[in-house]
Amino acid sequence: MPSPGRLSPPRQTASTLDKGHGRIERRTLTVSSELKENFPDFSFPGHQQVFRLERTTSNLDGSHPRTEVVYGVTGLSPEKASPERLLSLVRGHWGIESLHWIRDVVFGEDKSPTRKGSATVFMTLLRNLAIALLRLSSRKKIAESLRYFSWNPSRPLSFLGF
């Protein structure tokens, strides 16, 4: 039996290499539909594939390399999700998470006293609207933009065209 962390054949691999934010990141996703052979005690209803994602990150000059390995299970069949598609789906997931991070950290949503009823839905709507307006205006730094607008009450009104 293979040791956990090693995927027995058949397996397929996809890789990406990205530069940005002062670093180089290589992602390598290895996928196998042979879940039972790799993890005989594992039970996941509807599973189709298991994957191993290795992220290697370093500074642009190659210094300070760091490797992280994560594992995942998907109900998508190999016909519906090739290794390239799974890699793209995993990467796209962080786009959603970044919105949650902005709402939690920048707007302090988790500390909000509104916990029940329509007030929570309305506040979430307002936060999402503010984020969308800032992004549509090509502002990348949400926290910095919020500070800028909060220093002068006329700034948000002029930003909105009033």
Q: Prior bond to 83 cis, omega within 30?
A: no
Q: Which tokens hold the place of 70?
A: 């994560």
- Whether the predicted model's global pTM rises above the 0.75 cut: no
Whole-angstrom distance, CA of residue 47 vs CA of residue 64: 37
Around Cβ 73, how many Cβ atoms within 10 Å? 14
Give the torsion sign (CA, 44, 45, 49, 52).
negative
Q: Spell out the residues 6+ positions from residue 51 whose beta carbon is closer than 8 angstroms to its own.
A: 29, 30, 31, 32, 71, 72, 73, 74, 83, 86
Least confident of 31-45, 75-89, 126-140: 31-45
Q: Taking all residues of the chain, what is their mean pLDDT, rounded to a whole number? A: 83
Judge contact between 36 and 73, C-beta under 8 A.
Answer: no
- From 85, 89, 82, 76, select the one nearest 12 (Cα to Cα): 82
Q: What is the pLDDT of residue 20?
A: 81
For residue 67 the two structure tokens come to 């490797």
> What is the per-residue pLDDT for 39?
63
In which band, very low, low, confident or very high, does the pLDDT at 1 lie, cut at 50, 70 and 90? very low
Would you state the pLDDT for residue 158?
Answer: 86
User: Mind listing the domains of the chain with CATH numbers?
Assistant: 1-81 (2.20.130.10)
Q: What is the DSSP letter of 111?
A: G
The pLDDT tens digits for 101-160 are 888 888 888 888 877 788 888 888 988 898 888 888 888 888 899 899 889 888 888 888
